[in-house]
Amino acid sequence: MNAEHEPNAIWRTLREPNYWRYVTGNGLSLIGTWMQRIAIGWLTWELTHSPTWLGIIAMADFFPVVFMGPLGGALADRHSRVKVMVLSQLVAAACALSMFGLSLSGALHEWHLAIFTFISGMALGLNQASRLALAPSLVPRELLTTAIAINSMVFNSARFVGPMISTAVISLWAIHYSFLINAVSYSALIVALLSLNIKRRENRGKDGVSRSIIDDIREGVVFIKNHPPIRLVIVVMTMSALCLRPVVDLLPGLISDVFGKGADEFAILTASFGIGAILGGFWMARRGGMEDQPIVAMLGVIGSACAGVGLVATTSYAVALPFTIAAGFGMVVSGIGMQSTLQFVTPASMRGRVLSLYGVIHIGGAGIGAFILGLIAEVMGLRLPIVIAAVVGGIIWLTVWRKRSVIVESLKTKTAKP
């Protein structure tokens, strides 16, 4: 029975020994990660009271992922993905312990935060492709979409739980304990990774052909360029990241300038987006599926575009709330659908490099889009740039939608294995 026809797909996935160990360890680690992000942001402001430094810290977190992503993809296809992930977690844990020690001793400065955030970002960049490419090794092929959806729900749940715990830790004890808890949380994922019972892949290069990392990265770029289904998915992903997802980053401005509300309403609107994201993840986890993932992803993209337009078409805060939930739902559905499609159609030998591009676009695209729309909004206001971006996105979406059969047919013929 296919997962899309089985209402217990979630429980079947969670009963997979490798998967439940991984998702438990990853969930605990993500909670620690979000605790640390809150602590770093708060400490940066306390030390500097400078928006510029907040921007520097954000860039130190985001930029390494973009330029380390392709290298991480090549390493994921060349070496053991578990080993790459364990090494990355150890580096990030060492950074967290260093910030804990410096903060405890009173010697922590803003430049320490920037350096350790940058190093952690490099570790995340190396880790990202291996994390994404590991999924097919943890569950049967028919449960892969459900597994990806559960991962999304865990991530979005950690975005709520981590900051709440961090706030409690800061109030009850001291801010540096958030760093310590995060360092300890990495051990949960490391133990989970080392306990996985998955088939070992042979390292690349054992065929007698000497390849450099640069050659591997170049091979991945050429593969994507010459693979029409993957190329179409990448086009839609890039459009969504640049044109649609930035609305989330512009919510503070919308709250103030469009709805005339304050920080409390901003928190509620942000939570509404998170609720929509979790609902979207749960819906995708229950339905599973394989061959219809591109269609579901495309519908999620256009749905989030319409929700974004609806959000800025009203000046009523109450009316905006359901549109925010719908935007969160659509963005997560499209993200899960596109990642599932890439997992299904990409050969195992190329999976790390292809998914590294997914990670770079997913993490970096929205930041670049928000920066561009923010510059335009300085001149035109916030509402019109968001509508224009949605219209441009809709045109690109329609172009790919007309070619959707290319992607769907590839799912019927490809049998990518872990």
CATH number of the domain that residue 294 is part of: 1.20.1250.20
For residues 30-59, average pLDDT: 83
Q: Are residues 182 and 267 in the same domain?
A: no
Per the structure, the count of domains in the chain is 2
Spatial CB neighbours of 167, under 8 Å, sequence gap ≥ 6: 38
Q: Are 39 and 179 members of one domain?
A: yes
| pLDDT given at position 210 | 55
- Residue 205 domain-assigned (yes or no): no
pLDDT at 204 over 80: no
Q: pLDDT at residue 127 above 80? A: yes
Express each pLDDT in 362-391 by its tens digit: 777 777 787 788 778 878 888 888 899 999
Residue 355's closest CA among 146, 193, 201, 128? 128
User: Across the chain, what does the average pLDDT equal?
Assistant: 86
Domain check: are 239 and 384 in the same one? yes
| 293-348 per-position pLDDT tens digit | 899 999 999 999 999 999 988 888 889 899 999 999 999 999 999 989 998 888 88
The CA distance from 36 to 95, in Å, is: 11
DSSP 8-state class, residue 201: P
Q: How far apart are CA 16 and CA 12, in angstroms?
A: 7
Rounded CA separation 352/313 (Å):
40
The answer to whether residues 115 and 68 belong to one domain is: yes
| 206, part of any domain | no
232 in the same domain as 164 = no
Selected residue with higher pLDDT from 63 and 337: 337
Check whether residue 6 and residue 113 sit in a common domain: yes
| DSSP state for residue 395 in the 8-state scheme | H
> Does residue 51 have a pLDDT over 70?
no
Cβ pair 179, 93 in contact under 8 A: no
How much of the chain, in percent, has pLDDT values that exceed 90?
A: 41
CA distance 376 to 28: 39
For residue 111, give its domain range. 1-144+152-196
Closest CA to 77 of 201, 224, 218: 201
Domain-located, residue 210: no
**Among the ranges given (165-169, 199-203, 350-354), the one the predictor scored with the smallest mean pLDDT:** 199-203
